[in-house]
Amino acid sequence: MLTQSVQRPLTKQEVKEVVKFVSYHLNYVPLTEFNVEFVKSAKEYADWYEGYKVRTPEHIDEINKDIPCFFDQTTNTAVMQAFNYIDGIVVPVFVYPMATIVHECIHFFQYATSTSVGTWKVMYEGTNEVLSCFLMNDDVFDYEKEAQYAFNLIMELCAHDFMDAIIWMKRYTVHSNKNGFVERSIKQCPTFSKFRPRNLLRWLDNNQLGRIKNDAARAIFTKYGMYQIKQMIHANHELIMRV
């Protein structure tokens, strides 16, 4: 069982346990290795993020302030700050929710199963956020809008069956053609039969619900608010762990 949070860099064995945990729930064994790099300085962290040496203090500050962790698909590495960054000062103490590490591990699986995570941010970030928080029984969402839109869309695709929606997200995560999978699912759903899937997904990506002229269809994406979604996390966690 994974701990709810970490306060020190993970060992290689602990990283393997995270991968094993996610692999079990996604029913997929990756062929490549997932790594986690805890970076100890703001300069080194900015270099990791940009892929080259960052020279300006302003750029270093911007990256460290706004992006505490990310997944580098070129090296299959979750890169994380091994410090707190407060008002431009590095404090060598940190606490990471395990859900955040699981989130980056799911990105690894998204890339490991295809050449990209798919075009639509609302899907690859939204489903990831929902799955990682559900698996770890966490209710802190970094991508709330993407999670809400993705969750409401998938619940509609799955006739509002919660467990079917979770299974759909897992299938999406390891699908070799993620765009094709979600676009076909939308086409096959009677509710969205008059929509072009790519238009609908683009409007969601750009937070343009107003472009959906049908009132009933537009209301679908706000049917379940974040409070309700978080309640479902806690209420169904034991069931989620079995599927």
- Give residue-wise pLDDT tens across range 43-64: 999 999 999 899 899 999 999 9
Over the stretch 147-160, which tens digit does the pLDDT of each residue have? 999 999 999 999 99
What is the Cα–Cα distance from 215 to 68, expressed in whole angstroms? 38
Any residues with CB less than 8 A from the CB of 46 and at least 6 apart, and which? 54, 59, 60, 63, 64
| pLDDT value of position 118 | 83
What pTM was computed for the model? 0.94
Tell me if 110 is assigned to some domain.
no
**Total domain count for the chain?**
2
| Residue 53 tokens, joined | 């040496």
Residue ending a domain, choose from 47, 71, 104: 104
pLDDT band at 241 (very low <50, low <70, confident <90, very high): low
Tell me if 161 is assigned to some domain.
yes
What is the Cα–Cα distance from 47 to 206, expressed in whole angstroms? 29
Q: Is the pLDDT of residue 25 over 70?
A: yes
Structural domain that includes position 80: 5-104
Averaged pLDDT of the chain:
94
Contact between 104 and 67 (Cβ < 8 Å): no
Residue ending a domain, choose from 104, 139, 162: 104
Over the stretch 69-120, which tens digit does the pLDDT of each residue have? 999 999 999 999 999 999 999 999 999 999 999 999 999 999 999 877 888 9
Q: Is the pLDDT of residue 34 over 90?
A: yes
3-state SS string for 42-78? HHHHHHHHHCCCCCCHHHHHHHHHHCCEEEECCCCEE
- For residues 214 and 125, membership in a common domain is answered with yes
Q: Is the pLDDT of residue 1 over 90?
A: no
What is the Cα–Cα distance from 39 to 37, expressed in whole angstroms? 6
Tell me if 109 is assigned to some domain.
no
| pLDDT value of position 242 | 59
Tell me if 44 is assigned to some domain.
yes
- For residues 97 and 62, membership in a common domain is answered with yes
DSSP 97-137: EHHHHHHHHHHHHHHHTSSSS-S-HHHHHHHHHHHHHHHTT
b/e 193-220 (16+ beta carbons within 10 angstroms → b): eebebeebbebbbeeeeeebeeeebeeb
- For residues 84 and 161, membership in a common domain is answered with no
Tell me if 221 is assigned to some domain.
yes
